[in-house]
Structure 1
Amino acid sequence: MTTQAQETREALGARLRGFRKDAGFASGRALARALGWQESKVSRIENGRQNASEADIRAWCETTGHEADLGDLIATVRHIDELWSEWRRQLQTGAENRQKKSLPLYQKTEVFRIWEPNIIWGTIQTAEYAETIFGEASHLFGTPSDTEAAVAKRLERQGFLYKGDRIFNVLLGEQALYSNHGGSEVMRAQLDRLMAVLALPRLSLGIVPRSAPLGIWVGHGFSMFDDKLVMVETYSAEMSVTQPGEIEVYMKAFELHRQTAVYGRVARGMILSAIDHFDR
Protein backbone atom coordinates (compact mmCIF):
# COMPACT_ATOMS: atom_id res chain seq x y z
CA MET A 1 0.00 0.00 0.00
CA THR A 2 1.23 3.50 -0.76
CA THR A 3 2.21 5.93 2.00
CA GLN A 4 -0.72 8.14 1.09
CA ALA A 5 -3.18 5.26 1.20
CA GLN A 6 -1.84 4.09 4.56
CA GLU A 7 -1.95 7.59 6.01
CA THR A 8 -5.54 8.00 4.81
CA ARG A 9 -6.49 4.67 6.35
CA GLU A 10 -4.89 5.68 9.66
CA ALA A 11 -6.70 9.03 9.62
CA LEU A 12 -9.99 7.22 9.00
CA GLY A 13 -9.25 4.89 11.92
CA ALA A 14 -8.53 7.83 14.23
CA ARG A 15 -11.83 9.45 13.28
CA LEU A 16 -13.72 6.22 13.94
CA ARG A 17 -11.98 5.90 17.30
CA GLY A 18 -13.33 9.34 18.20
CA PHE A 19 -16.85 8.22 17.24
CA ARG A 20 -16.49 5.17 19.50
CA LYS A 21 -15.38 7.21 22.49
CA ASP A 22 -18.06 9.86 21.92
CA ALA A 23 -20.68 7.11 22.02
CA GLY A 24 -19.46 5.88 25.41
CA PHE A 25 -17.71 2.70 24.31
CA ALA A 26 -14.65 2.77 26.56
CA SER A 27 -12.80 0.08 24.62
CA GLY A 28 -12.71 -1.43 21.18
CA ARG A 29 -13.75 -4.70 22.76
CA ALA A 30 -17.02 -3.16 23.96
CA LEU A 31 -17.85 -1.84 20.49
CA ALA A 32 -16.92 -5.16 18.90
CA ARG A 33 -19.41 -6.92 21.18
CA ALA A 34 -22.12 -4.43 20.22
CA LEU A 35 -21.39 -5.00 16.52
CA GLY A 36 -20.98 -8.77 16.79
CA TRP A 37 -17.42 -8.61 15.49
CA GLN A 38 -14.25 -10.35 16.55
CA GLU A 39 -12.64 -8.39 19.37
CA SER A 40 -9.49 -7.49 17.42
CA LYS A 41 -11.32 -6.08 14.37
CA VAL A 42 -12.12 -2.71 15.95
CA SER A 43 -8.50 -2.27 17.05
CA ARG A 44 -7.14 -3.17 13.61
CA ILE A 45 -9.44 -0.67 11.89
CA GLU A 46 -8.75 2.12 14.39
CA ASN A 47 -4.99 1.67 14.01
CA GLY A 48 -5.03 1.49 10.22
CA ARG A 49 -4.00 -2.16 10.06
CA GLN A 50 -7.17 -3.32 8.29
CA ASN A 51 -9.35 -1.82 5.59
CA ALA A 52 -12.89 -1.03 6.67
CA SER A 53 -15.58 -2.05 4.19
CA GLU A 54 -18.55 0.16 3.40
CA ALA A 55 -20.71 -2.22 5.46
CA ASP A 56 -18.29 -1.84 8.37
CA ILE A 57 -18.52 1.94 8.18
CA ARG A 58 -22.29 1.86 8.01
CA ALA A 59 -22.55 -0.40 11.08
CA TRP A 60 -20.01 1.71 13.00
CA CYS A 61 -21.83 4.98 12.30
CA GLU A 62 -25.25 3.57 13.14
CA THR A 63 -24.03 2.07 16.41
CA THR A 64 -22.19 5.22 17.53
CA GLY A 65 -24.88 7.67 16.38
CA HIS A 66 -22.88 9.24 13.56
CA GLU A 67 -25.17 8.46 10.61
CA ALA A 68 -24.69 12.04 9.39
CA ASP A 69 -21.01 11.27 8.68
CA LEU A 70 -21.74 8.09 6.74
CA GLY A 71 -21.54 9.58 3.24
CA ASP A 72 -18.22 11.28 3.88
CA LEU A 73 -16.64 8.20 5.41
CA ILE A 74 -17.80 5.89 2.64
CA ALA A 75 -16.26 8.31 0.14
CA THR A 76 -13.00 8.03 2.08
CA VAL A 77 -13.12 4.22 1.97
CA ARG A 78 -13.66 4.29 -1.78
CA HIS A 79 -10.78 6.73 -2.16
CA ILE A 80 -8.45 4.37 -0.28
CA ASP A 81 -9.50 1.53 -2.58
CA GLU A 82 -8.76 3.68 -5.62
CA LEU A 83 -5.34 4.79 -4.37
CA TRP A 84 -3.70 1.45 -4.86
CA SER A 85 -4.58 -1.14 -7.46
CA GLU A 86 -2.18 -4.03 -7.88
CA TRP A 87 -0.98 -4.63 -11.42
CA ARG A 88 -1.28 -8.40 -11.12
CA ARG A 89 -4.95 -8.02 -10.21
CA GLN A 90 -5.56 -5.49 -12.98
CA LEU A 91 -3.82 -7.66 -15.56
CA GLN A 92 -5.14 -11.05 -14.45
CA THR A 93 -7.27 -11.29 -17.61
CA GLY A 94 -4.66 -9.60 -19.81
CA ALA A 95 -3.72 -6.01 -20.61
CA GLU A 96 -6.52 -5.17 -23.05
CA ASN A 97 -9.10 -4.42 -20.37
CA ARG A 98 -6.73 -2.06 -18.56
CA GLN A 99 -6.05 -0.19 -21.79
CA LYS A 100 -9.78 0.00 -22.50
CA LYS A 101 -10.39 1.68 -19.14
CA SER A 102 -8.19 4.60 -20.21
CA LEU A 103 -10.40 5.62 -23.12
CA PRO A 104 -13.22 7.33 -21.14
CA LEU A 105 -10.62 9.22 -19.09
CA TYR A 106 -8.96 10.48 -22.27
CA GLN A 107 -12.34 11.43 -23.67
CA LYS A 108 -13.13 13.84 -20.83
CA THR A 109 -9.64 15.27 -20.24
CA GLU A 110 -8.80 18.66 -21.75
CA VAL A 111 -5.20 19.16 -20.59
CA PHE A 112 -2.65 16.36 -20.17
CA ARG A 113 0.65 16.72 -18.32
CA ILE A 114 2.98 13.76 -18.78
CA TRP A 115 6.38 13.10 -17.22
CA GLU A 116 8.25 9.96 -18.30
CA PRO A 117 11.93 9.95 -17.28
CA ASN A 118 13.01 6.69 -18.92
CA ILE A 119 10.33 5.33 -21.24
CA ILE A 120 8.34 6.68 -24.19
CA TRP A 121 4.84 7.76 -23.17
CA GLY A 122 2.26 5.14 -24.17
CA THR A 123 0.10 7.38 -26.36
CA ILE A 124 3.00 8.16 -28.70
CA GLN A 125 4.44 4.65 -28.82
CA THR A 126 4.68 2.67 -32.03
CA ALA A 127 2.89 -0.67 -32.19
CA GLU A 128 6.20 -2.56 -32.03
CA TYR A 129 7.47 -0.60 -29.04
CA ALA A 130 4.14 -1.04 -27.22
CA GLU A 131 4.18 -4.76 -28.00
CA THR A 132 7.59 -5.03 -26.33
CA ILE A 133 6.40 -3.15 -23.23
CA PHE A 134 3.29 -5.32 -22.84
CA GLY A 135 5.39 -8.44 -23.29
CA GLU A 136 7.75 -7.29 -20.54
CA ALA A 137 4.82 -6.64 -18.19
CA SER A 138 3.26 -10.03 -18.90
CA HIS A 139 6.56 -11.73 -18.16
CA LEU A 140 7.11 -9.77 -14.93
CA PHE A 141 3.65 -10.42 -13.47
CA GLY A 142 3.05 -13.86 -14.94
CA THR A 143 -0.25 -12.68 -16.43
CA PRO A 144 -1.95 -13.69 -19.71
CA SER A 145 -0.36 -12.33 -22.85
CA ASP A 146 -2.99 -10.60 -24.99
CA THR A 147 -0.45 -8.30 -26.58
CA GLU A 148 -2.13 -7.82 -29.94
CA ALA A 149 -5.45 -6.74 -28.40
CA ALA A 150 -3.71 -4.53 -25.80
CA VAL A 151 -1.64 -2.79 -28.48
CA ALA A 152 -4.78 -2.13 -30.53
CA LYS A 153 -6.41 -0.40 -27.56
CA ARG A 154 -3.28 1.61 -26.82
CA LEU A 155 -3.11 2.77 -30.43
CA GLU A 156 -6.78 3.71 -30.25
CA ARG A 157 -5.81 6.33 -27.66
CA GLN A 158 -3.64 8.02 -30.26
CA GLY A 159 -6.79 9.21 -32.02
CA PHE A 160 -7.21 11.79 -29.25
CA LEU A 161 -4.01 13.48 -30.44
CA TYR A 162 -5.77 14.49 -33.64
CA LYS A 163 -9.32 15.37 -32.60
CA GLY A 164 -10.87 17.94 -30.32
CA ASP A 165 -9.06 20.74 -28.54
CA ARG A 166 -7.08 18.66 -26.05
CA ILE A 167 -3.66 19.95 -25.05
CA PHE A 168 -0.84 17.46 -24.49
CA ASN A 169 2.17 18.66 -22.49
CA VAL A 170 4.69 15.82 -22.64
CA LEU A 171 8.10 15.70 -20.99
CA LEU A 172 10.57 12.88 -21.55
CA GLY A 173 13.87 12.36 -19.81
CA GLU A 174 16.75 11.97 -22.26
CA GLN A 175 17.19 8.43 -20.96
CA ALA A 176 13.83 7.55 -22.54
CA LEU A 177 15.47 8.03 -25.96
CA TYR A 178 18.10 5.39 -25.16
CA SER A 179 16.29 2.83 -22.96
CA ASN A 180 16.36 -0.09 -25.37
CA HIS A 181 13.02 -1.85 -25.59
CA GLY A 182 12.85 -4.24 -28.52
CA GLY A 183 16.23 -3.73 -30.15
CA SER A 184 17.72 -1.18 -32.53
CA GLU A 185 15.11 -1.52 -35.29
CA VAL A 186 12.20 -1.00 -32.90
CA MET A 187 13.97 1.91 -31.25
CA ARG A 188 14.78 3.66 -34.55
CA ALA A 189 11.12 3.41 -35.59
CA GLN A 190 10.02 4.74 -32.22
CA LEU A 191 12.40 7.68 -32.43
CA ASP A 192 11.16 8.43 -35.95
CA ARG A 193 7.69 8.53 -34.44
CA LEU A 194 8.89 11.14 -31.94
CA MET A 195 10.18 13.26 -34.81
CA ALA A 196 6.72 13.11 -36.38
CA VAL A 197 4.80 14.09 -33.23
CA LEU A 198 6.96 17.19 -32.83
CA ALA A 199 4.82 18.68 -35.61
CA LEU A 200 1.47 18.05 -33.92
CA PRO A 201 -0.21 21.41 -33.20
CA ARG A 202 -1.62 20.60 -29.75
CA LEU A 203 1.25 18.46 -28.48
CA SER A 204 4.25 20.06 -26.80
CA LEU A 205 7.17 17.62 -26.49
CA GLY A 206 10.05 18.61 -24.23
CA ILE A 207 13.13 16.58 -23.38
CA VAL A 208 15.01 16.98 -20.11
CA PRO A 209 18.74 16.53 -20.87
CA ARG A 210 20.49 14.06 -18.59
CA SER A 211 23.09 16.71 -17.71
CA ALA A 212 20.56 19.51 -17.10
CA PRO A 213 20.68 21.26 -13.71
CA LEU A 214 17.53 19.86 -12.13
CA GLY A 215 15.05 21.77 -10.00
CA ILE A 216 13.87 18.50 -8.43
CA TRP A 217 15.03 14.89 -8.42
CA VAL A 218 14.01 12.80 -11.42
CA GLY A 219 11.60 10.64 -9.42
CA HIS A 220 8.95 8.48 -11.05
CA GLY A 221 6.82 9.01 -14.13
CA PHE A 222 3.26 10.23 -13.85
CA SER A 223 0.30 11.30 -15.96
CA MET A 224 -1.88 14.23 -14.92
CA PHE A 225 -5.40 14.59 -16.28
CA ASP A 226 -6.54 18.22 -15.98
CA ASP A 227 -6.14 19.13 -12.32
CA LYS A 228 -8.35 16.29 -11.10
CA LEU A 229 -6.31 13.08 -11.26
CA VAL A 230 -2.69 11.92 -11.32
CA MET A 231 -1.83 8.33 -12.23
CA VAL A 232 1.48 6.95 -10.93
CA GLU A 233 2.84 3.58 -12.03
CA THR A 234 5.33 1.50 -10.05
CA TYR A 235 6.60 -2.03 -10.63
CA SER A 236 3.91 -3.53 -8.42
CA ALA A 237 0.91 -1.26 -8.71
CA GLU A 238 -0.82 1.81 -10.09
CA MET A 239 -1.75 4.66 -7.76
CA SER A 240 -4.49 7.22 -8.31
CA VAL A 241 -3.95 10.61 -6.69
CA THR A 242 -7.10 12.71 -6.31
CA GLN A 243 -6.47 14.83 -3.22
CA PRO A 244 -6.11 18.51 -4.29
CA GLY A 245 -3.07 19.11 -2.07
CA GLU A 246 -1.16 16.18 -3.57
CA ILE A 247 -2.20 17.06 -7.10
CA GLU A 248 -0.71 20.49 -6.49
CA VAL A 249 2.60 18.85 -5.56
CA TYR A 250 2.63 16.95 -8.86
CA MET A 251 1.77 20.15 -10.71
CA LYS A 252 4.78 21.86 -9.14
CA ALA A 253 7.02 18.88 -9.93
CA PHE A 254 5.91 18.97 -13.56
CA GLU A 255 6.68 22.68 -13.81
CA LEU A 256 10.13 22.17 -12.31
CA HIS A 257 10.90 19.47 -14.88
CA ARG A 258 9.48 21.66 -17.65
CA GLN A 259 11.83 24.49 -16.74
CA THR A 260 14.84 22.27 -17.48
CA ALA A 261 13.42 20.79 -20.70
CA VAL A 262 14.46 21.68 -24.24
CA TYR A 263 12.06 22.01 -27.15
CA GLY A 264 11.92 22.50 -30.90
CA ARG A 265 15.22 22.41 -32.77
CA VAL A 266 17.25 21.38 -29.72
CA ALA A 267 14.87 18.53 -28.88
CA ARG A 268 14.93 17.43 -32.52
CA GLY A 269 18.73 17.34 -32.41
CA MET A 270 18.67 15.14 -29.31
CA ILE A 271 16.29 12.68 -30.99
CA LEU A 272 18.48 12.60 -34.11
CA SER A 273 21.51 11.83 -31.93
CA ALA A 274 19.62 8.93 -30.38
CA ILE A 275 18.68 7.66 -33.85
CA ASP A 276 22.32 7.84 -34.85
CA HIS A 277 23.21 5.86 -31.72
CA PHE A 278 20.91 3.00 -32.73
CA ASP A 279 22.05 3.21 -36.37
CA ARG A 280 25.54 2.43 -35.11
Structure 2
Amino acid sequence: MSTDFQQAREALGVRLRELRLSAPGGRLTGPQLAQRIGWAHSKVYKLENGQQTATSDDLRAWSEGVGQPRTFDELDARLKGFESHIRSWRRQLAAGHRPVQDAWNLEVSKATTIRAWEEAVVPGMLQTADYARHIFLRYADLQGTTRDTDDAVRARIRRQEWLYESGRRFHALIWEAALHALVCPPSVLAAQLDRLTGIVGMDTVELGVIPLSASLKVPTANGFWVLDECLVIAEDWHAELWLDDADSVAVYLRVWNTLRESAVYGADAQAVINRARRALPPR
Protein backbone atom coordinates (compact mmCIF):
# COMPACT_ATOMS: atom_id res chain seq x y z
CA MET A 1 0.00 0.00 0.00
CA SER A 2 1.39 3.45 -0.89
CA THR A 3 2.83 5.61 1.88
CA ASP A 4 0.64 8.57 0.89
CA PHE A 5 -2.48 6.42 1.01
CA GLN A 6 -1.59 4.92 4.38
CA GLN A 7 -0.74 8.32 5.86
CA ALA A 8 -4.10 9.68 4.70
CA ARG A 9 -5.89 6.69 6.19
CA GLU A 10 -4.09 7.15 9.50
CA ALA A 11 -4.91 10.88 9.51
CA LEU A 12 -8.58 10.04 9.01
CA GLY A 13 -8.30 7.61 11.94
CA VAL A 14 -6.92 10.35 14.17
CA ARG A 15 -9.88 12.55 13.27
CA LEU A 16 -12.32 9.74 14.03
CA ARG A 17 -10.73 9.26 17.44
CA GLU A 18 -11.01 12.99 18.13
CA LEU A 19 -14.73 12.86 17.41
CA ARG A 20 -15.21 9.85 19.67
CA LEU A 21 -13.40 11.52 22.55
CA SER A 22 -15.27 14.82 22.10
CA ALA A 23 -18.80 13.38 21.83
CA PRO A 24 -21.36 15.97 23.08
CA GLY A 25 -22.65 13.63 25.78
CA GLY A 26 -19.17 12.87 27.03
CA ARG A 27 -16.23 10.89 25.68
CA LEU A 28 -17.05 7.42 24.45
CA THR A 29 -14.93 4.32 24.79
CA GLY A 30 -14.41 2.17 21.72
CA PRO A 31 -16.75 -0.55 22.99
CA GLN A 32 -19.43 2.05 23.82
CA LEU A 33 -19.33 3.48 20.31
CA ALA A 34 -19.29 0.02 18.76
CA GLN A 35 -22.39 -0.92 20.75
CA ARG A 36 -24.21 2.20 19.59
CA ILE A 37 -23.40 1.51 15.95
CA GLY A 38 -23.76 -2.25 16.09
CA TRP A 39 -20.16 -3.08 15.21
CA ALA A 40 -17.54 -5.36 16.71
CA HIS A 41 -15.41 -3.06 18.85
CA SER A 42 -12.28 -4.21 16.97
CA LYS A 43 -13.57 -2.35 13.91
CA VAL A 44 -13.52 0.93 15.83
CA TYR A 45 -9.86 0.50 16.69
CA LYS A 46 -8.90 -0.67 13.20
CA LEU A 47 -10.42 2.47 11.69
CA GLU A 48 -8.80 4.73 14.27
CA ASN A 49 -5.39 3.12 13.78
CA GLY A 50 -5.52 3.27 9.99
CA GLN A 51 -5.63 -0.51 9.66
CA GLN A 52 -8.90 -0.56 7.69
CA THR A 53 -10.32 1.76 5.06
CA ALA A 54 -13.68 3.24 5.99
CA THR A 55 -16.63 3.35 3.62
CA SER A 56 -19.00 6.31 3.34
CA ASP A 57 -21.57 4.27 5.28
CA ASP A 58 -19.01 3.68 8.04
CA LEU A 59 -18.32 7.40 8.30
CA ARG A 60 -22.01 8.27 8.42
CA ALA A 61 -22.58 5.72 11.18
CA TRP A 62 -19.57 7.09 13.09
CA SER A 63 -20.64 10.72 12.88
CA GLU A 64 -24.14 9.85 14.05
CA GLY A 65 -22.85 7.47 16.73
CA VAL A 66 -20.70 10.17 18.33
CA GLY A 67 -23.59 12.64 18.17
CA GLN A 68 -22.00 14.85 15.52
CA PRO A 69 -23.82 14.08 12.26
CA ARG A 70 -22.71 17.37 10.68
CA THR A 71 -19.13 16.08 10.54
CA PHE A 72 -20.07 13.45 7.95
CA ASP A 73 -19.48 15.74 4.96
CA GLU A 74 -15.98 16.56 6.23
CA LEU A 75 -15.13 12.92 6.85
CA ASP A 76 -16.51 11.79 3.49
CA ALA A 77 -14.53 14.52 1.69
CA ARG A 78 -11.35 13.21 3.33
CA LEU A 79 -12.16 9.69 2.17
CA LYS A 80 -12.89 10.75 -1.39
CA GLY A 81 -9.71 12.81 -1.41
CA PHE A 82 -7.34 9.92 -0.87
CA GLU A 83 -9.45 7.36 -2.72
CA SER A 84 -9.39 9.49 -5.86
CA HIS A 85 -5.85 8.18 -6.37
CA ILE A 86 -6.17 4.68 -4.88
CA ARG A 87 -9.40 3.19 -6.18
CA SER A 88 -9.97 -0.16 -4.50
CA TRP A 89 -11.46 -2.88 -6.69
CA ARG A 90 -13.86 -3.81 -3.89
CA ARG A 91 -15.51 -0.40 -4.11
CA GLN A 92 -15.16 0.10 -7.85
CA LEU A 93 -16.67 -3.26 -8.74
CA ALA A 94 -19.49 -3.15 -6.20
CA ALA A 95 -21.90 -2.41 -9.06
CA GLY A 96 -20.04 -4.49 -11.64
CA HIS A 97 -17.46 -3.81 -14.35
CA ARG A 98 -19.59 -1.51 -16.51
CA PRO A 99 -19.18 1.62 -14.28
CA VAL A 100 -15.40 1.14 -14.29
CA GLN A 101 -15.41 0.95 -18.09
CA ASP A 102 -17.54 4.09 -18.28
CA ALA A 103 -15.02 5.96 -16.13
CA TRP A 104 -12.22 4.84 -18.43
CA ASN A 105 -14.19 5.85 -21.51
CA LEU A 106 -14.59 9.37 -20.16
CA GLU A 107 -10.86 9.81 -19.60
CA VAL A 108 -9.90 8.22 -22.92
CA SER A 109 -12.33 10.45 -24.81
CA LYS A 110 -10.42 13.51 -23.57
CA ALA A 111 -6.99 12.17 -24.56
CA THR A 112 -5.09 12.69 -27.78
CA THR A 113 -2.10 10.44 -27.13
CA ILE A 114 -2.15 7.24 -25.06
CA ARG A 115 0.77 5.01 -24.13
CA ALA A 116 0.01 1.55 -22.77
CA TRP A 117 2.14 -1.26 -21.38
CA GLU A 118 0.67 -4.69 -20.73
CA GLU A 119 2.72 -7.67 -19.66
CA ALA A 120 -0.04 -10.24 -19.10
CA VAL A 121 -3.00 -9.45 -21.38
CA VAL A 122 -3.75 -7.74 -24.66
CA PRO A 123 -4.54 -4.05 -24.03
CA GLY A 124 -8.26 -3.38 -23.70
CA MET A 125 -8.22 -0.93 -26.62
CA LEU A 126 -7.15 -3.79 -28.90
CA GLN A 127 -9.24 -6.65 -27.51
CA THR A 128 -11.87 -8.57 -29.42
CA ALA A 129 -15.28 -8.83 -27.77
CA ASP A 130 -14.83 -12.55 -27.00
CA TYR A 131 -11.39 -12.03 -25.47
CA ALA A 132 -12.69 -9.12 -23.34
CA ARG A 133 -15.62 -11.23 -22.18
CA HIS A 134 -13.31 -13.91 -20.80
CA ILE A 135 -11.13 -11.32 -19.06
CA PHE A 136 -14.15 -9.79 -17.32
CA LEU A 137 -15.42 -13.21 -16.26
CA ARG A 138 -12.03 -14.13 -14.79
CA TYR A 139 -11.92 -10.96 -12.70
CA ALA A 140 -15.56 -11.24 -11.65
CA ASP A 141 -14.80 -14.71 -10.30
CA LEU A 142 -11.66 -13.48 -8.54
CA GLN A 143 -13.30 -10.47 -6.88
CA GLY A 144 -16.70 -12.10 -6.34
CA THR A 145 -18.45 -9.18 -8.03
CA THR A 146 -21.58 -8.66 -10.08
CA ARG A 147 -21.48 -10.29 -13.50
CA ASP A 148 -22.50 -7.51 -15.86
CA THR A 149 -20.21 -8.98 -18.49
CA ASP A 150 -22.11 -8.08 -21.66
CA ASP A 151 -22.57 -4.45 -20.59
CA ALA A 152 -18.88 -4.23 -19.69
CA VAL A 153 -17.84 -5.71 -23.04
CA ARG A 154 -20.01 -3.25 -24.94
CA ALA A 155 -18.51 -0.34 -23.01
CA ARG A 156 -14.95 -1.53 -23.68
CA ILE A 157 -15.59 -2.08 -27.39
CA ARG A 158 -17.21 1.36 -27.62
CA ARG A 159 -13.96 2.86 -26.29
CA GLN A 160 -12.15 1.45 -29.31
CA GLU A 161 -13.93 3.94 -31.56
CA TRP A 162 -11.23 6.35 -30.35
CA LEU A 163 -8.74 4.46 -32.53
CA TYR A 164 -10.58 5.51 -35.70
CA GLU A 165 -10.66 9.23 -34.96
CA SER A 166 -8.18 11.46 -36.77
CA GLY A 167 -5.58 13.15 -34.61
CA ARG A 168 -5.43 10.27 -32.11
CA ARG A 169 -2.35 8.15 -31.44
CA PHE A 170 -2.19 4.91 -29.46
CA HIS A 171 1.29 3.61 -28.57
CA ALA A 172 0.94 0.07 -27.24
CA LEU A 173 3.65 -2.18 -25.81
CA ILE A 174 2.93 -5.85 -25.13
CA TRP A 175 5.21 -8.50 -23.66
CA GLU A 176 5.22 -11.67 -25.75
CA ALA A 177 4.05 -13.67 -22.72
CA ALA A 178 0.65 -11.98 -23.02
CA LEU A 179 0.28 -13.46 -26.50
CA HIS A 180 0.59 -16.99 -25.12
CA ALA A 181 -1.51 -16.60 -21.95
CA LEU A 182 -4.56 -18.88 -22.18
CA VAL A 183 -6.92 -16.70 -20.18
CA CYS A 184 -9.51 -17.75 -22.74
CA PRO A 185 -10.06 -20.78 -24.99
CA PRO A 186 -7.40 -21.25 -27.71
CA SER A 187 -9.91 -20.42 -30.45
CA VAL A 188 -10.66 -17.05 -28.81
CA LEU A 189 -6.95 -16.29 -28.40
CA ALA A 190 -6.36 -17.24 -32.05
CA ALA A 191 -8.95 -14.67 -33.18
CA GLN A 192 -7.39 -12.11 -30.84
CA LEU A 193 -3.93 -12.68 -32.30
CA ASP A 194 -5.35 -12.39 -35.81
CA ARG A 195 -6.76 -9.01 -34.85
CA LEU A 196 -3.39 -7.84 -33.52
CA THR A 197 -1.75 -8.86 -36.78
CA GLY A 198 -4.26 -6.74 -38.68
CA ILE A 199 -3.70 -3.74 -36.39
CA VAL A 200 0.00 -3.53 -37.20
CA GLY A 201 0.32 -0.68 -39.66
CA MET A 202 -2.79 1.29 -38.64
CA ASP A 203 -1.98 5.00 -38.84
CA THR A 204 -3.38 5.69 -35.37
CA VAL A 205 -1.70 2.71 -33.68
CA GLU A 206 1.95 1.96 -32.98
CA LEU A 207 2.11 -1.63 -31.73
CA GLY A 208 5.34 -2.86 -30.21
CA VAL A 209 5.95 -6.38 -28.92
CA ILE A 210 8.78 -7.25 -26.54
CA PRO A 211 9.97 -10.78 -27.39
CA LEU A 212 10.66 -13.19 -24.55
CA SER A 213 14.23 -13.37 -25.83
CA ALA A 214 14.74 -9.59 -25.68
CA SER A 215 17.26 -8.04 -23.32
CA LEU A 216 15.44 -5.94 -20.69
CA LYS A 217 16.73 -2.85 -18.91
CA VAL A 218 13.90 -2.96 -16.36
CA PRO A 219 11.70 -5.87 -15.16
CA THR A 220 8.34 -6.41 -16.84
CA ALA A 221 6.20 -5.34 -13.89
CA ASN A 222 2.49 -4.37 -13.73
CA GLY A 223 0.71 -2.86 -16.69
CA PHE A 224 -0.06 0.86 -16.86
CA TRP A 225 -1.44 3.53 -19.17
CA VAL A 226 -0.31 7.13 -19.64
CA LEU A 227 -2.88 9.56 -21.05
CA ASP A 228 -1.53 12.74 -22.66
CA GLU A 229 1.47 12.69 -20.30
CA CYS A 230 -0.92 14.02 -17.63
CA LEU A 231 -2.54 10.96 -16.04
CA VAL A 232 -1.25 7.48 -15.23
CA ILE A 233 -3.63 4.59 -14.57
CA ALA A 234 -1.91 1.52 -13.14
CA GLU A 235 -3.44 -1.70 -11.86
CA ASP A 236 -2.60 -3.80 -8.85
CA TRP A 237 -4.49 -6.74 -7.37
CA HIS A 238 -6.17 -4.68 -4.66
CA ALA A 239 -6.71 -1.37 -6.43
CA GLU A 240 -6.33 0.81 -9.48
CA LEU A 241 -3.98 3.78 -9.10
CA TRP A 242 -4.82 7.10 -10.77
CA LEU A 243 -1.76 9.35 -10.59
CA ASP A 244 -1.63 12.89 -11.95
CA ASP A 245 1.30 14.51 -10.14
CA ALA A 246 4.18 15.43 -12.43
CA ASP A 247 6.80 13.32 -10.63
CA SER A 248 4.77 10.10 -10.84
CA VAL A 249 3.88 10.68 -14.49
CA ALA A 250 7.55 11.29 -15.28
CA VAL A 251 8.56 8.00 -13.63
CA TYR A 252 6.02 5.99 -15.62
CA LEU A 253 7.00 7.69 -18.87
CA ARG A 254 10.62 6.83 -18.13
CA VAL A 255 9.68 3.19 -17.54
CA TRP A 256 7.62 3.12 -20.74
CA ASN A 257 10.41 4.60 -22.84
CA THR A 258 12.90 2.15 -21.32
CA LEU A 259 10.66 -0.83 -22.12
CA ARG A 260 10.16 0.51 -25.64
CA GLU A 261 13.86 0.07 -26.35
CA SER A 262 13.37 -3.71 -26.14
CA ALA A 263 10.34 -3.85 -28.46
CA VAL A 264 10.06 -4.81 -32.11
CA TYR A 265 7.64 -3.23 -34.58
CA GLY A 266 6.10 -3.72 -38.01
CA ALA A 267 6.97 -6.99 -39.72
CA ASP A 268 9.10 -8.09 -36.75
CA ALA A 269 6.14 -7.61 -34.40
CA GLN A 270 3.91 -9.56 -36.77
CA ALA A 271 6.44 -12.39 -36.76
CA VAL A 272 6.30 -12.60 -32.94
CA ILE A 273 2.49 -12.58 -33.02
CA ASN A 274 2.41 -15.26 -35.73
CA ARG A 275 4.82 -17.38 -33.69
CA ALA A 276 2.40 -17.25 -30.75
CA ARG A 277 -0.43 -18.11 -33.12
CA ARG A 278 1.35 -21.21 -34.38
CA ALA A 279 2.15 -22.29 -30.82
CA LEU A 280 -1.52 -22.54 -29.86
CA PRO A 281 -2.78 -26.04 -29.05
CA PRO A 282 -4.87 -27.70 -31.78
CA ARG A 283 -8.58 -26.89 -31.69
Q: TM-score normalized by structure 1?
A: 0.77
Name the SS for the 1:92 alignment partner: helix
User: Corresponding residue for 1:63?
Assistant: none
Query: Which of 226, 229, 236 is the equivalent residue of 2:231?
Result: 229
Per the alignment, do residues 202 and 45 of structure 1 end up closer, same or farther by CA in structure 2, a change over 3 Å counting?
Answer: same
Name the SS for the 1:182 alignment partner: coil
CA distance in structure 2 between the aligned counterparts of 1:101 and 1:180, rounded to whole angstroms: 28
User: Corresponding residue for 1:59?
Assistant: none
% same residue: 33
CA distance in structure 2 between the aligned counterparts of 1:195 and 1:228, rounded to whole angstroms: 30
Supply the RMSD in Å over aligned alpha carbons: 3.3
The answer as to 2:94 corresponding to 1:92 is: yes
Per-residue deviation, residues 66-113 of structure 1 (Å, max 9, x unmatched): xxxxxxxx9986441212222122122221121112121111111111
Per-residue deviation, residues 218-266 of structure 1 (Å, max 9, x unmatched): 1110111112211111222211112211111111100110111111111
Per-residue deviation, residues 33-61 of structure 1 (Å, max 9, x unmatched): 49987699xx9999866879999xxxxxx
Name the SS for the 1:112 alignment partner: strand
Q: Measure how far apart 1:134 and its partner are.
A: 0.7
User: Corresponding residue for 1:213?
Assistant: 215
User: Corresponding residue for 1:156?
Assistant: 158
Per the alignment, do residues 46 and 213 of structure 1 end up closer, same or farther by CA in structure 2, a change over 3 Å counting?
Answer: same
Per the alignment, do residues 208 and 37 of structure 1 end up closer, same or farther by CA in structure 2, a change over 3 Å counting?
Answer: farther
Per the alignment, do residues 154 and 219 of structure 1 end up closer, same or farther by CA in structure 2, a change over 3 Å counting?
Answer: same
CA distance in structure 1 between the aligned counterparts of 2:197 and 2:53, rounded to whole angstroms: 47
Per the alignment, do residues 247 and 199 of structure 1 end up closer, same or farther by CA in structure 2, a change over 3 Å counting?
Answer: same
Q: Aligned pairs, how many?
A: 253
Contact 2:201 2:266 in 1 (8 A): no
CA distance in structure 1 between the aligned counterparts of 2:29 and 2:52, rounded to whole angstroms: 13
The residue type equivalent to 2:127 in the other structure is Q
User: Corresponding residue for 2:245?
Assistant: 243
CA distance in structure 2 between the aligned counterparts of 1:201 and 1:38, rounded to whole angstroms: 65
What are the residue-to-residue correspondences of 1:105-254 with 2, within 5 Å? 105-254=107-256
Query: Which of 270, 273, 277 is the equivalent residue of 1:271?
Result: 273
The residue type equivalent to 1:117 in the other structure is E
User: Corresponding residue for 2:69?
Assistant: none
Q: Measure how far apart 1:121 and its partner are.
A: 0.4
Q: Measure how far apart 1:175 and its partner are.
A: 0.3
CA distance in structure 2 between the aligned counterparts of 1:244 and 1:169, rounded to whole angstroms: 20
Per the alignment, do residues 37 and 96 of structure 1 end up closer, same or farther by CA in structure 2, a change over 3 Å counting?
Answer: farther
The residue type equivalent to 1:257 in the other structure is L
Q: TM-score normalized by structure 2?
A: 0.76
Per-residue deviation, residues 196-224 of structure 1 (Å, max 9, x unmatched): 11121021110111221111111110111
Long gaps (5+) in structure 2: 31-44, 60-75
Contact 1:33 1:39 in 2 (8 A): no
Per the alignment, do residues 4 and 135 of structure 1 end up closer, same or farther by CA in structure 2, a change over 3 Å counting?
Answer: same
The residue type equivalent to 2:175 in the other structure is G
Name the SS for the 2:213 alignment partner: coil
Contact 2:235 2:241 in 1 (8 A): yes
Long gaps (5+) in structure 1: 18-27, 56-73
